[in-house]
Chain A
Amino acid sequence: MARFDPYENNGGTCVAVAGADYCVVAADTRLSVGYSILSRDHSKIAQLADKCVLASSGFQGDIKALQKALAAKELVYEHNNNKKMSCPAMAQLLSNTLYYKRFFPYYAFNVLAGLDTQGKGCVFTYDAVGSYERTGYSAQGTGSALMMPVLDNQLKSPSPLLLPARDAVTPLSESDAVDLVKDVFASATERDIYTGDRLEIVVINSSGTCRECIELRKD
């Protein structure tokens, strides 16, 4: 008996790296279904607040719905509290929004990134039902398993088991972090069929948000 499957995986990978005073968020722009490409130019990165950006991979239908829901809640917050939402506040809101649909989840693998209230880079990584953690860097999506081991090795993240607790933010400079992200994406594109076409890189720092695109393999 064929049943209606409400989910679909549109592929793609998202990455974020937190620095001392910047944050790099990157995602490829390929939208696919099955073995076909639907779009080579579909952004997976959404700006939720001033210094807060959400990168999501998974089912784009659910992702669009999630982005709209968060934007609406952010506006309500602004009206009630007379200020824009900070990144850690948005992180908690996203977790609650995801858990609200615990028994019919948003098929979205999210990475929320930006600058916290002190201006330091912050990255929050989520599962589909809202479990989240503040980390120094994260990758989510079809190419994440290819990228995380390289990021683990290069970003010298201290183990969360060590005491006293150490800062997870990377000591790398902004340009080095961007260079690492570009290389790691080019490598994942070689081996993951769902990642490719173009890489969109967003860098958030004290002077604002800047966007850069580089070409990836299109096969």
Chain B
Amino acid sequence: MTGSMDLPAKGGFDFDLCRRNNMLEKNGLKLPGFLKTGTTIVGLVFQDGVVLGADTRATEGPIVADKNCEKIHFMAPNIYCCGAGTAADTEAVTDMVSSQLQLHRYATGRESRVITALTLLKSHLFRYQGHVSAALVLGGVDCTGPHLHTVYPHGSTDTLPFATMGSGSLAAMSVFESRFKEGLTREEGIELVSDAIRAGIFNDLGSGSNVDVCVITKGKTEYLRNHQLPNPRTYASSKGFSFTKGQTEVLSTKIIPLKQKVEVAEGGDAMEE
């Protein structure tokens, strides 16, 4: 019987439709865009642990799709990950590794280590050869101490005392490079991270809205959602707006009543649970 032969396990992406898509694009079809986070994300190591920071704007080209999205993702109670790049990719990859870490915790009976999350992320991203567009700042504190890493879409990683990623990374890095030093206190760390994110928010058009901060120390994690809100709406009309019927000129109206196609019978069988 044909089809009983074992095919090699299919992993990664299926590129069979690429030729068809290219032909369609040449004939004028506009492909749907991706929701990118056009972001500023940062992390730094201070004396008791790590501080992560992120802005909260998600863009679709020149339009702001979400004014207050969450870019600091949960990986483990002691490990968090900031994500820049395609929003779906960062969500999917962090959720997936977070689940894998939980299963691993059940199997080993121990707290997760940051390098475990790092290895799982980099091997996944390398396998997809950069097509999973996720650039991450991974930070946490485990039994071996505080750790901070950056992960690039193709799967390479760096281990750093302070890091920035996303379209606003240059603005944020300029703040870090002038003011970072080893052994910062918790307050100094939070302030430096907030200042770096604000540099991205105000100087990079792809970043904006609010500052999210996450402080991870041995035994305790504080997720400070909307730690700063430096961009309130500047003007709202006191009169308010009313959108009443008739305000938009209607040129013609046509009402077509639909014919009833379904007969409702009383006392039939109840649906299955």
Contact = CB atoms under 8 A, between A and B. Distances in A.
A192 B241 contact: no
Given A186-B236, A215-B234, A142 B62 contact: yes
Interface residues of A, number: 35
A186 B235 CA distance: 6
Nearest to A142: B62
Nearest to B203: A37
For the residues of B in contact with A, the DSSP-based class is: loop
Interface in B233-272: 233-239, 241, 243, 247-249, 251
Interface residues of B, number: 32
Interface in A169-190: 176, 179-180, 182-183, 185-186, 189-190
Q: Taking chain A's interface residues, is the majority helix, strand, or loop, or is none over half, making it mixed?
A: mixed
A10 to B, nearest CB: 12
Contact of A183 (B167, B231, B237, B251): B237
A75 interface: no
B29 interface: no
Contacts of A156: 247, 249
B59 A193 contact: yes
20 contacts: A32-B205, A35-B205, A36-B205, A152-B248, A154-B241, A154-B247, A159-B251, A179-B238, A180-B237, A186-B233, A186-B234, A190-B64, A190-B233, A193-B205, A193-B206, A194-B205, A214-B234, A217-B208, A217-B233, A218-B202
Interface of B: 38, 57, 59, 62-64, 67, 167, 201-209, 230-231, 233-239, 241, 243, 247-249, 251
